[in-house]
Structure 1
Amino acid sequence: MLKLATKKNSATGRRQKTVNRAPKGPRRVILFNKPFDVLPQFTDEAGRKTLKDYISVTGVYAAGRLDRDSEGLLVLTNDGKLQAKLTQPQHKTGKVYLVQVEGIPDTEALEKLRHGITLNDGPTLPAGAELIAEPDWLWPRDPPIRERKAIPTSWIKITLYEGRNRQVRRMTAHVGFPTLRLIRYSLNNWNLDGLAPGEWKEVKYV
């Protein structure tokens, strides 16, 4: 039986479920395009949508979180070592997010994100941050975001090498541009290419 441990995240203060050893059977790695309003877990006492509504595989667990109101790539595995590599800050695994924000960030705001800012749980690591056009392959969100007619929106590509609770949202708000929509596009060497919302596929990892 796969044993689980909980480890306290020093940045968030939360306990996270981790797989504490290598799997007995073959390593399994699943890529899932998590839709909006789906919890990144398999059970929920409140009856909300979870991974169980989409993924039939058992014995795998999410490597890191992707909040209910965020979308995009979620990696699930039964391999504790891989889970640690993808989630623990010392490994500095890159995570790319496509972020729709309210307003149009100027150079000063982007530079603050790139050099690191101080949040209430301490300074962030330097991050990649650049303005981009809205991706032409992007699916519409259901429900749509709430836009204010008098305020334009724009998109930023943000690359993080750590993973704190709601970090991207807190970072963009800190520099004056609240996040309206958040999509994780890639993690490590995997990305969303070829996965529609709610779809998953199993991949090999050597």
Structure 2
Amino acid sequence: MSQLILFNKPFGVLSQFTDRGTQTTRPTLSTYIDVPGVYPAGRLDRDSEGLLLLTDDGKLQSRIADPKYKMPKTYLVQIEGEADVGSLDQLRQGVRLKDGLTRPADVQRIDPPDLWPRDPPVRYRKTVPDCWLQLTIREGRNRQVRRMTAAVGLPTLRLVRWRIGEWILDDLSSGEWRKAPV
């Protein structure tokens, strides 16, 4: 029977079990998860947090990670600046990046979510406002959400993946994991 693990990846942790090619040791999945035979279904950048799915089922891994399946991924995004109707509409229509036009995103402004503290904390500037978005994409380009918000003039300060398809982070604290039904 297939295994599926939901993991709340902390900021600064690599989405792999080993750290190759660097002089310094960085935290990896092996710091948190000791389950043999599971591998990440997709990636979550080191400077992003939140839901990472791991499985031992190659077909399930492909269904989750392969962009051809267009599995929705929802992020809570703290941005620098105020998201106005124009910038939100740009995200909803698709944003032109160096590697082409993105698919349209579902996006809305939200109240600041009740999340765990980030270590290190996000830098705050007294003279520059920030706000939060809930943004759902159906593709998975490298650093896509960060590049999309930057393209509309709203740099990302904090990025938390909250949902992948039907799987949601819910009450998992940073660094915790649990098995889920497949």
Short-chain TM bin: over 0.9
Which of 171, 176, 179 is equivalent to 1:199? 176
Which of 135, 141, 150 is equivalent to 1:173? 150
> Which structure 1 residue ranges, 4+ long, deviate > 2 Å from structure 2?
none
Gaps of 5+ in 2: none
What does 1:97-112 align with in structure 2 at a 5 Å threshold? 97-112=75-90
TM-score when normalising by structure 1: 0.85
Which of 6, 11, 17 is equivalent to 1:42? 17
Paired with 2:71 and 2:43, the residues of 1 have a C-alpha distance of 14
Q: Which residue of 1 aligns with 2:133?
A: 156
Equivalent residues, number? 179
Percentage identity across aligned positions?
58
Paired with 1:101 and 1:39, the residues of 2 have a C-alpha distance of 23
Paired with 1:133 and 1:76, the residues of 2 have a C-alpha distance of 30
Q: Which residue of 1 aligns with 2:42?
A: 64
How far has the Cα of 1:43 moved from its partner? 0.2
The structure with higher relative contact order (CA 8 Å, sep 6+) is 2
Gaps of 5+ in 1: 1-25
Check the 8 A contact 1:33/1:71 in 2, yes or no.
yes
Amino acid across the alignment from 1:157: Q
How far has the Cα of 1:159 moved from its partner? 0.1
TM-score when normalising by structure 2: 0.96
How far has the Cα of 1:94 moved from its partner? 0.6
Cα RMSD (Å): 0.8
Q: Which residue of 2 aligns with 1:11?
A: none
Are 1:74 and 2:52 matched, yes or no? yes
How far has the Cα of 1:70 moved from its partner? 0.3
